[in-house]
Amino acid sequence: MKKKLLGLVACVATLALSGALLAGCSGSGDKTGGDSADGKETLTVGFDQSYPPYGFVGDDGKFTGFDLDLAQAVCDKNGWELKLSAIDWDAKDALLAQGNINCIWNGFTMEGREDGYTFSDPYMLNEQVIVVKAGSHISDFAGLSGKTVMTQVDSAALDVLEGDQAEVAATFKGGAAQTIGDYNNAFMQLDSGMIDAVACDLSIAQYQIAANPDKYVQLSTPLSTEHYAVGFKKGDTELAQKVTETLKQLDADGTVKQLCEKYASYGISYDNWVLGK
């Protein structure tokens, strides 16, 4: 019995120490998430790996995208090590709260989410739009009446369709938009004819249309206009400000424009960059 009790005490002590170490590495609102093996501070970025052109798996099987390159440039500027964490989008809030990631950086709309996160300054203009198949004869919101419209779960487009554009969504087949885990599969269903339209970010629409110019068209009227920003745990003000400051420096030295040009064929435009302008 004594051995068991001593073992239990040791176990509790070990767990307590482990918890303290984890807490020390999870970020406390004024620093990045722990140190790498070479002593550098690490910025762990949570992103959706199926969200081109901001974050996705390239032809070489490696993670790539405009936001991931931007995050790498910020880390290089500050002497940080970047750690990319492909996450389940539904789990992003829990992962951020637990300190598994330092930020959400992946075409992340800030409007309507201000109460849940501390954001960097907005850096990119965005809109929520509707994409349909070319030749569908759907040219406006009225044409979506009785049609099947799909969007990503927990997306800004879904927020808009359940909020300011709820009356439009009420006309869809089933009285609401359908949801799916990622936009790549949504567009596969649009291509196959299983659905009639996809509600998504402007950048996603531009990417899909650039890749398939004869296949898709975008309705001229957007559902909403908004901005992308980097989302941090509520209260992580110092890190958010540091990232904002660094993004401004990267814009001033031409890095941002170079990255926009790198991803121009994916629908990224420097004209939509708003930070510092």
- Encoded tokens for 48: 């959706």
Report d(CA 104, CA 6) in Å as an integer.
Answer: 43
pLDDT surpassing 50 at residue 24: no
* End-to-end C-alpha distance for the chain, whole angstroms: 70
Domains defined for the chain, CATH in brackets: 31-123+229-272 (3.40.190.10), 127-226 (3.40.190.10)
pLDDT in tens, 50-80: 888 999 999 999 999 999 999 999 999 999 9
227-231 average pLDDT score: 97
CB 84 within 8 A of CB 47: yes
Nearest to 53 by CA among 68, 43, 74, 75: 68
pLDDT surpassing 80 at residue 47: yes
CB 199 within 8 A of CB 128: yes
18 pLDDT tier (thresholds 50, 70, 90)? very low
> Element (H or E) spanning 232, and its range?
strand 231-232
Mean pLDDT of the chain: 88
What is residue 213's DSSP assignment? T
Q: Which of 22-26, 71-75, 222-226 has the lowest mean pLDDT?
A: 22-26
Q: What is the largest CA-CA distance in the chain?
A: 79
276 pLDDT tier (thresholds 50, 70, 90)? confident
Report d(CA 37, CA 39) in Å as an integer.
Answer: 6
> Element (H or E) spanning 78, and its range?
helix 66-78
> What residue spans of 128-254 are helical by DSSP H?
156-162, 166-169, 183-192, 202-211, 237-252
Report d(CA 37, CA 17) in Å as an integer.
Answer: 20
pLDDT in tens, 160-205: 999 999 999 999 999 999 999 999 999 999 999 999 999 999 988 9
pLDDT in tens, 105-142: 999 989 889 999 999 999 999 899 999 999 999 999 99
- Encoded tokens for 77: 């500027």
Using DSSP's 3-state secondary structure scheme, residue 267 falls into coil
pLDDT (0 to 100) of residue 14: 41
